[in-house]
Amino acid sequence: MSQQSLDVNKKWDQVYSQSFMTMWYPNEDIIRFCARLIRKRLTHDEFQVKKEVETVLDLGCGNGRHAIYFAREGLKASGIDVSKQAIDWAIDWAQREGLDVDFRVGDIANLPYEDRTFDVAVSHGVLDHVRPQLANAAVRELRRTMKKGGLFYCDLRCADDFEYGLGTEVEPNTFMLDHGYEQGLVQHFFTLDEIKALFDGQFRIIYSEITERRLEPDYQRRYSRWILAVEAI
């Protein structure tokens, strides 16, 4: 791992060791992604299969909530994260549930998997928590490890989000956070042009949407995320 990754590892370890980021249920937009593009339950025991899939990677898996979700659905799931603390949580969780998930400590820009391993990948809140150069390297690595036609879900903070501008701008649209439990971590706020550039020539965008929560007390502050599904070309 590079020195930069080791430093980031330490920061994320602090976040996880204080349980600030452990989440125990899957993100709703990932469940929706599955229903829209992979498999949708029609009745109690009937499914509409939209894509036959076997293998799934959770990129920046944290304590493993999405890899665990896919393993419960019967897929061969893998998860990778730079934080050893997060991966320890994830391994413990899978063991307690009797699920066989391949969790590893590692860097998303240097994936320890063979070419064309995965049918599906998901990544919640990760590619916007690294510097743009690293996000680009991670997408290249992901494309290498995914099968052609494979589906990738990711969500990213949007450039019109209410927290845009907080902290120190270290490069365009990228801020070193100086508040809360994410202090010292990087947040990039994506424009649509940046998203197109990130995937250009490697993935085709299937859908790109923005979800927005307008926050109390006056409902003027918008918590805003891109929700994306792309296909490996």
Ligand X SMILES: C[S@@+](CC[C@H](N)C(=O)[O-])C[C@H]1O[C@@H](n2cnc3c(N)ncnc32)[C@H](O)[C@@H]1O
> Which residues are near ligand X by CB under 6 A?
5, 8, 12, 21, 23, 60-62, 65, 81-83, 86, 107-108, 124-126, 129-130, 134
Q: How far is the CB of 44 from ligand X (least distance, A)?
A: 29
Which residue sits closest to ligand X, CB atoms considered? Answer: 62
Nearer to ligand X (CB atom), residue 112 or residue 149 = 112
Q: How far is the CB of 162 from ligand X (least distance, A)?
A: 17
Sheet strands (E) in the chain:
39-41, 47-49, 55-59, 76-81, 102-105, 118-124, 146-157, 168-171, 174-176, 186-188, 203-215, 221-232
Nearer to ligand X (CB atom), residue 23 or residue 233 = 23
Could you give the CA distance from residue 156 to residue 190 in angstroms, rounded to a whole number? 7
Q: How far is the CB of 111 from ligand X (least distance, A)?
A: 9
- Nearest alpha-carbon partner for 107 in 214, 3, 191, 226: 3
Q: How far is the CB of 186 from ligand X (least distance, A)?
A: 9
Q: How far is the CB of 19 from ligand X (least distance, A)?
A: 12
Nearer to ligand X (CB atom), residue 142 or residue 195 = 142
Q: How far is the CB of 11 from ligand X (least distance, A)?
A: 8
Could you give the CA distance from residue 91 to residue 100 in angstroms, rounded to a whole number? 9
- DSSP H/E element including 198: helix 192-199
Nearer to ligand X (CB atom), residue 50 or residue 117 = 117
Beta bridge partners of 207: 229
Burial 189-201 (b: 16+ CB within 10 A, else e): bbeeebbeebbee
Could you give the CA distance from residue 88 to residue 86 in angstroms, rounded to a whole number? 5
Nearer to ligand X (CB atom), residue 12 or residue 70 = 12
Nearer to ligand X (CB atom), residue 17 or residue 173 = 17
Give the SS3 label for residue 57. Answer: strand
For residue 102, the number of C-alpha atoms closer than 13 Å in the C-beta half-sphere is: 13
Question: Please, what is the Cα angle at 153 between 177 and 199, to 5 degrees?
Answer: 80
Nearer to ligand X (CB atom), residue 5 or residue 191 = 5
Structure tokens belonging to residue 144 = 């290498």
Q: How far is the CB of 53 from ligand X (least distance, A)?
A: 19
